[in-house]
Structure 1
């Protein structure tokens, strides 16, 4: 900074720009280093690279998030289908206008409409999760080969066993036959 000020005092435009550029580069360096460290720590946390201990990977984490989005989307579509079927069934019930049954049917229609609107959460959460997956993939790809040495992020010893098995990522889950065989081998 003093060199930049000295260049200004001596009317040295080139020296001022050079010192200012160096100052800007110095100022941005911690940010860049922090981003690179974050990418490295994410990779280590998910088991990418040497010394990985958690058994996962960033691609695996992305696959799990995409699987969660797919499951949520499928459940949302199934719910919407059932709401439509219930509306259709409700329309087949003969109801006298002004009766208690008519009021109940109107109330059910309103609630079906509210349930349909509430399913909008799936689309929003799916978009958010897909965006996070894209960001993680970009950070991971951009960090290849430029990760400096530093202490890794500390996560719990095991993140296995949370959530359903994901095809292509996890081993096939145990079946009832597997459980029966185990119990038989134990004499139970």
Structure 2
């Protein structure tokens, strides 16, 4: 027996009813060949319909199995490669952020005493200069003011240079943001991809149970309640998940899979 004959034999054939057999025999005995042919056509149609239903069931099972294999394989890659890599990337982001924060705090700690000293010295010199303008300083006090101004100018120049270097160091410490932003966006895409695959896995494994529950409720009530319909619609919408940006070809795969689902569902499988 060939492989095609074995498959054909494996499909259950609907039994011919006793009434149909009697009608066929009666038509043949009466010589009514037209009725006999009509009865035979009805028997063949019933057989073809059963074969069509069995073929649809096999197609649905194969389709779900292939999708399940595809999702399971991608989840395995995500678990073994992408997720550990994402953990290392996030650890790198944490380390770079910590280093930048420490550099910024060190610069602030170094510059604050310089600015505080500047403020105190300038307030003192400004007060004495105001006394000089009001002609309240004697010769010795004016000479002391000149000496203090002469010593303050080099200190101010050196302090300004130190503050400038500190601000430049703070600016350089922020260069990590561009790199860490790229890493974080890549991890976000990975999380979205994991979400999409998990949703697909849940839809594959739970679809039959959801359909059985909905069918049982409809059989009891005669029709699905509006609330259940809306709930199912929301569930299907949420299960789609967000699209993963930056991953080429994913939208095409999802579209083709949904088209196959729609086709099988429209045929009643």
Scaled by the length of structure 1, the TM-score of the pair is 0.43
Instruction: Specify which structure has the bigger relative contact order, considering alpha-carbon pairs within 8 angstroms and separated by 6 or more residues.
Output: 1
Structure with higher Rg: it is 2
Report the structure, 1 or 2, having the larger helix content.
2
Scaled by the length of structure 2, the TM-score of the pair is 0.31
